[in-house]
């Protein structure tokens, strides 16, 4: 089952109030839909989250690595790991595996004492910080929505709706994306929070996406 690909559409958005991370739920094996409830949104610590795309086995290993290293950092230094440090750590892990690389595309987002951040990280270990990023087979459709609607002073609430709108657009055109949307927010006040399924569906209905 490690050959199962999550196909995937994921997105990360920096807002003035926090970071929004979102994914859909479908995992595929070529043209076969293997799972309809695949987990692609992960809490790494109170201040950091990650979205995943690629081979399920590779992704699950990387999540375990990152959680362990971030916990060790917090215990040894008595502070939360900065988002940039987490992105660099993940980049180094990916870059070390030359001959049999991890088949993944990742987004790391969160907050530290320098503000809110989103990094997109490719399978070769390249890490790029931006105000928004999308990874996965449906990312082109998401970027169309983000380019049209993102703004510098976007609020957290608007960012949540924008992420949902982008994932929804991808689900309508990308066969490897579908079966629902997960949304998480990361703020200095509340840390990592995942929106209830009912809240996501309520927002989709209000935006007439369902």
Residue bearing tokens 């996406």 = 209
Of the residues 8, 10, 23, 51, which is catalytic? 8
β partners of residue 115: 112
CA-to-CA distance for 203 and 208, rounded, in angstroms? 8
Give 90's contacts (C-beta < 8 A, 6+ positions apart).
Answer: 50, 62, 66, 106, 108, 121, 127
8 is catalytic: yes
SS3 142: helix
Instruction: Show the tokens assigned to 191.
Output: 């840390």
Give catalytic residues, as residue numbers.
8
């Amino acid at each position: 089952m490690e050959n199962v690909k999550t196909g995937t559409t994921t997105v990360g958005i920096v807002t003035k109030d926090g970071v929004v991370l979102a994914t859909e739920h479908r995992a595929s094996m070529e043209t076969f839909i293997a799972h309809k409830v695949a987990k692609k949104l992960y809490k790494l610590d109170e201040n950091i989250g990650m979205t995943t795309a690629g081979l399920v086995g590779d992704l699950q290993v990387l999540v375990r690595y990152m959680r362990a290293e971030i916990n060790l950092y917090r215990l040894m230094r008595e502070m939360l790991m900065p988002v940039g440090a987490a992105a660099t750590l993940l980049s180094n892990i990916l870059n070390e595996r030359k001959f049999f690389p991890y088949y993944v595309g990742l987004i790391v987002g969160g907050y530290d004492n320098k503000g809110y951040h989103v990094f997109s990280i490719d399978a070769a270990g390249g890490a790029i910080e931006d105000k928004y990023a999308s990874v996965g087979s449906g990312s082109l459709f998401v970027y169309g929505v983000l380019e049209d609607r993102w703004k510098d002073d976007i609020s957290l609430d608007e960012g949540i709706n924008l992420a949902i709108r982008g994932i929804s657009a991808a689900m309508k055109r990308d066969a490897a994306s579908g079966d629902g949307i997960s949304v998480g927010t990361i703020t200095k006040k509340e840390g990592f929070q995942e929106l209830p399924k009912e809240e996501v569906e309520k927002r989709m209905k209000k935006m007439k996406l369902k």
